[in-house]
Amino acid sequence: MDVVRRNNVTVVGNPEGPAVVLAHGFGCDQNMWRLTVPALVEDYRVVLFDYVGSGRAEPSAFSEKRYSSLSGYARDVVEVCEALDLRDAAFVGHSVSAMIGVVALGMAPERIGALVMVAPSPRYVDDDGYRGGFSADDIDELLASLESNYLGWSAAMAPMIMGNPDRPELDQELKNSFCATDPDMARVFARTTFLSDSRDDLKSVAVPTLVLECTQDVIAPREVGAFVHRTVPGSTLVTLDATGHCPHLSAPEATNAAITDFLAGLR
Amino acid sequence: MMCRSAEQPDPQDTGGDATDVLFAALLEDSADELYESAPCGYLSALMDGTIAKINSTLLGWLSLDREAVVGRMRFTDLLTVGGKLYHETHFAPLLRMQGEISGIALDIKQSAGGRMPVLVSAAVKYGSTGQPLLTRTTVFDARDRRAYEEELLRRRDAAEEARKQAEADRARLQEALAVLQQSLLPDTLPPIPGVETAAHYHTASPDRLGGDFYDVFPLDGKRFAFFLGDVCGKGPQAAAVTSLTRYTLRAAALHDPDPVSALSTLNTVLHERYADSGDPRYCTAVFGTLGPDPTTGHVAVQLASGGHPPVLVLRADGTADFLPTPGGLLVGVVPGARFTTATTVLTPGDTLLLYTDGLTEARTGDDQSDRYGDEALRGFAVRHAGRPPDAVVQALTGLLHGFGDGLDDDTALLAIGVPATGPAPCDPATPD
C-alpha cells in the first residue's frame, strides 16, 4: 500500500528546507501539532503523519501483531522517511513517539539526524530503583479504565468511526472532530505504550537530542525527564513552564522557541 | 378551587396569581444558590488545572471540604489514575484544540476510597485577546448510565464470543467437507507402464461438496480402467451419490471390465437405491478400459458413455476430434438403460481427454451470456494436440482460471496419453 496514503502523510512548509518530522503520541493524531507547524513552515520542510491505528491512517493496514511493539510503529516512521526519501531529518516525537523515534533511529540511522523528545518517558512503570510514576497496578487500572473510558468514548465516537450508513449525520460530525480513533486499535497502542521499556535504547542514541519536559506532568514527571537527559549522551534538557503532558498545546510559544532554537543550532 | 382572593372577583384570573407566586419563589433562588445546589457538579479551573471554584454538589460527591480543594488541588487530582491518564492523553489536548469537549466518561475518586462514574463536559473561557483564561467544567452523575453501558459491553463481548465460536465451527465444517471431498477423488493416479495421466478438479465453492468424479485403477495386471462423470445436483446428497457411484464402478469393473457392463451395474444400483426414494438421483459417466500393448507402445481404448459429453482425442499430428458416443442414457433413471460404446487406439503423442460440462458450459463474453461450447473446446484442443497429458491439463486449468466468475459449476478433467517418445525399443545387442 502507498505509505503516504496509509499514514495520511502531509508535507508543508519550505520544500528547500531541512526536513522535520512531527510524530504524535498515544491518544491523538497529527492535529496535535497545529500550533507547532506555523513556527516551522518558513524554514523547514515539515512532515506530518498519523500512525496506523490513529487519526486518518488507513484502518485496514492495522495489524495487532505489528503494532504490539514499538518497533511496529517505528517501521511506520522509517517507511514514511523512505517514501519521502528523507535523510538526516529532525524527528520530533511527543510522549511515546520520542521512544518510537529512538527505535526508528536504530533501524535506519541514515534517515534521522536529530531527535526532539517532547515529554518523553522510556518506562511508565516503577522499577527497581527507577521511578516512572506509575505502579504496575496503576497501569492495569489505566488499561481497564481505557476500556470503560472508551465505552463512553465509543458511545460517541464508534458509530462514526465504524461508518454508519443509517446515520450519515455522524459521518459528517467525524469530519469535524480531531483524534478520532478506533477504540480497539487505541487499546493496542495503549498497551504497547504503557508497558514499553526503552531505557536501554536511550544509551545508544548518537544524534543531537533535545529533551523537553514540563514542570507539572502526570505522565512524564520531572525525574523521568532528568533520567532521559542523563541517559542520552550529550542531550540538552529544557524544562518548560507548562502544566500537563502536551506543552506544544498548553505552552506553544515556549515549546516552539525551544524546538526552533535547537533546530537552528543544527544547521 | 384554590388561591381565590377577595380582591380578584373574576375567577378566571386566579391562575395568573398562582404563577406569580411560583415565579417569586424562583427569583428568590439566587444565581449562587442555583450554582451551589445544581443537580450537577460545577468546577472552574485555571489553565494549569488549579481548581478556583467548585460547587457544593460536586464537593458532596467527592466528600471533600471546599478549603481542601480550592487553590490546592488540580482537576486531575479528583480523577482515578486511569482517568488522569485519559485526561492527559485525550481530554486536555482535545479541549485545547477545540475549546470545548463534551460527554467524556471519567471516574472521580471519593474520599472514602470509592469511585463514581461521571460524564464530563468542559469549555475554555478566553480573554479579550483570545488567550485562554480558565476552564469551566460540568460533571454529571453517570452511575446508572455506566452500569447500563457495562451491561451493553458484556452483551457485545458475548456476541463477539459467539461470532468467534461460529467462525471456528464453520472452519471445522469446511475442513470436514474437504476431507469428505478428498475421499471422493483418488489421491494420486496409479502409474501405468507406457501411459501418462493427469487430472484436475475445480470445486465451484469450498462450502459445497462437488458432484463430479473420476478415477483410474488397475484391472488385471495388464489392463486399467478409468471413469469420469457428473452427478446431478450438489452438496451432501450429490456427494453420497458420488461415493456410491465411485465404489460401485470400481467393484463392477473388477467383476466384469466390459464398459457397458460396468455402467449397467451402476445403472441398476442407482435406480434401485433412488428411484423409489422420492428423490431420484442419476449421473452421467464415461467408463473405459486401457489395454497397453508393450510391443507396439499402442494403447487400445474401449469406452461406453451414459449421457456424458463425448471425449476428445488429441493426436500427435496436431488434430483433435470428439469420439462420438450419441444416444447413451443418463445412468440410474430407467432400468435396463442402453449405453453407447466407442473404441480408439492411442499411439505415441496421442492424448484422450475426458471432462465434465462445467468446462463447456462456462459463461463467457463481456456480459457472460455465451457458453464456452464444444467447438471452442475442440479448437483449444487442436492448439495443444501432440502435447503430453500434464501439459494439456495445465493449459485447461489456465483456461478455467481465465473464466473467473463465468465458471460456476464443478469441473473435472482427466487426460490419458501415450508419451511421444514411447518406451525404448528392446535392443537385441544388449545382453539380458
Give me the mean pLDDT over the B198-214 stretch. Answer: 83
Is B335 found in the same domain as B241?
yes
Cβ–Cβ of B97/A31 closer than 8 Å?
Answer: yes
Judge: B89–A134 Cβ closer than 8 Å, yes or no: no
Q: Is A94 a catalytic residue?
A: no
Identify whether B430 is part of a domain: no
Residue A124, min C-alpha distance to chain B (Å): 11
B240 and B364 within one domain: yes
Task: Please tell me the predicted confidence (pLDDT) of residue B406.
Answer: 86
Task: Look up the ipTM and state it.
Answer: 0.82
Specify whether B71 is located in the same domain as B196: no
DSSP codes joined into one string, B271-340: HHHHTTTTS---EEEEEEEEEE-TTT--EEEEEEEESPPPEEEE-TTS-EEEE--TTPPPBTSSTT---E
Question: Is the confidence at residue A67, as pLDDT, over 90?
Answer: yes
> How many CB atoms neighbour CB B422 within 10 A?
14
User: What confidence tens digit (pLDDT) does each residue in B401-426 have?
Assistant: 988 888 888 899 999 999 986 444 34
Does any domain span residue B199?
A: yes
Q: Which of A28, A146, A178 sits opposite B82 (nearest CB)?
A: A146
User: Is A152's Cβ below 8 Å from some Cβ in B?
Assistant: yes
Nearest to B98 among A25, A178, A244 (CB): A178
Residues of B in contact with A177 (CB under 8 A): 98
Report the C-alpha gap between A104 and A118 in whole angstroms.
Answer: 16
B179 and B192 housed in the same domain:
no
CATH (domain of B88): 3.30.450.20
Average pLDDT, whole number, for chain A?
Answer: 87
Strand pairing report for A112-118 and A209-216 = parallel
A32 touching chain B per CB within 8 A: yes
Specify the pLDDT at position B6: 46
Beta-carbon separation of B88 and A244 below 8 A: yes
Statement: residue B3 has pLDDT above 70:
no
The residue among B86 and B286 whose pLDDT is bigger is: B286
Whether residue B324 has pLDDT greater than 90: yes
Partners of B47 on chain A (C-beta within 8 Å) are 243, 250
**Within an 8 Å CB–CB cutoff, is residue B133 touching chain A?**
no
Is A178 near chain B, with CB under 8 Å?
yes
Q: Does the pLDDT value for residue B30 go beyond 90?
A: no
Q: How many CB pairs under 8 A join A and B?
A: 111
CB burial class (10 A; 0-12, 13-18, 19+) of residue A259? Answer: buried
A25: closest chain B residue by CA: B89
Residues of B in contact with A151 (CB under 8 A): 105, 146, 149-150, 153
Q: What share of chain A is helix, strand, coil (3-state, %, to 5)?
A: 45, 20, 35
Q: Which of these ranges, B28-42, B174-188, B286-300, has the smallest mean pLDDT?
A: B174-188
C-alpha span between B163 and B160 (Å, rounded): 5
Within B105-224, residue ranges assigned H as helices are 143-183
Per-residue pLDDT, A179: 63
CB spacing of A245 vs B89 below 8 angstroms: yes
- The answer on pLDDT for A172 being more than 50 is no
Is there a single domain that holds both residue B304 and residue B392? yes
Same domain? For B171 and B101 the reply is no
> Is the sign of the CA dihedral A239, A240, A243, A244 positive or negative?
negative
Q: Does residue B259 form part of some domain?
A: yes
Q: Which domain covers residue B72, as residue numbers?
A: 19-141
User: Do residues A173 and A71 make contact, with C-beta atoms less than 8 angstroms apart?
Assistant: no
- The answer to whether residue B32 sits within a structural domain is yes
B221 with B129, same domain?
Answer: no
| CA–CA distances in Å: residue B153 to residues A153, A154, B69, B150, B281 | 13, 11, 35, 5, 51
Please indicate whether, in this complex, the C-beta atoms of B83 and A145 are within 8 angstroms of each other.
yes
Q: Which residues of A touch B96 (CB under 8 A)?
A: 246, 249-250
Residue B109, domain member (yes or no): yes
Longest dimension (CA), chain B: 148
**Within this chain, do residues B167 and B313 fall inside the same structural domain, yes or no?**
no
Whether residues B228 and B366 fall in one domain: yes
Instruction: Say whether A245 is catalytic.
Output: yes
Amino acid B217: pLDDT:
95
Facing A153 at nearest CB: one of B83, B98, B105? B105
How do residues A126-167 score in pLDDT, each as one tens digit?
Answer: 998 899 988 888 888 777 766 665 544 444 443 333 334 454
Chain B within 8 Å of A249 (Cβ-Cβ)? yes
Whether residue B216 sits in one domain with residue B89: no
Mind giving me the DSSP string for B190-224?
PPBTTBEEEEEEE-S-TTS---EEEEEEESSSS-E
Active site residue A229: no
Q: At B227, phi and psi to the nearest 5?
A: -150, 160
Q: What is the pLDDT of residues A218-238, one digit of tens each?
A: 899 999 999 999 999 999 999
Q: Which domains does chain A have, with CATH numbers?
A: 3-122+197-266 (3.40.50.1820)
When pLDDT is averaged across residues B220-226 and rounded to a whole number, the result is: 91
Domain presence at residue B409: yes
Range in A117-121, B312-316, B357-361 the model is least confident about:
B357-361
Query: Mutation test of the interface with chain B: which of A121, A142, A224, A248, choosing the one with the most B Cβ atoms within 10 A?
Result: A142
Contact A179 B146 (CB under 8 A): no
Residue of B nearest to A95 (CA): B89
Residue B176 or residue B288, greater confidence: B288
Mean pLDDT of all residues belonging to chain B: 87
B75 domain-assigned: yes
Which residue shows C-alpha cell 487500572?
Answer: A141
CATH number of the domain at B200, please. Answer: 3.60.40.10
Residue that is last in its domain, among B161, B183, B205: B183
**How far apart are alpha carbons B432 and B92 in whole angstroms?**
95
With 50 as the cut, is the pLDDT of residue A214 above it? yes
The 10s digit of each residue's pLDDT in B53-94 is 999 999 999 999 999 999 999 999 999 888 888 888 888 888
Structural domains in chain B (count): 3
In this predicted structure, what is the pLDDT of residue A148?
A: 60
Please check whether residue B295 lies inside any domain of the structure.
Answer: yes
If asked whether residues B178 and B195 sit together in one domain, one would say no
The model's pLDDT over B348-380, given as tens digits with 9 standing for 90+, comes to 999 999 999 989 999 888 777 888 999 999 999
Q: Quote the longest CA-to-CA distance of chain A.
A: 57
Quote the pLDDT of residue B154. 85
Contact B199, B212 (CB under 8 A): no
User: Is B172 in the same domain as B241?
Assistant: no
In the numeric block, the cell 456480459 is attached to B367
Span B17-24, mean pLDDT?
A: 76
pLDDT tens track for A15-49: 999 999 999 998 888 988 999 999 999 999 999 99
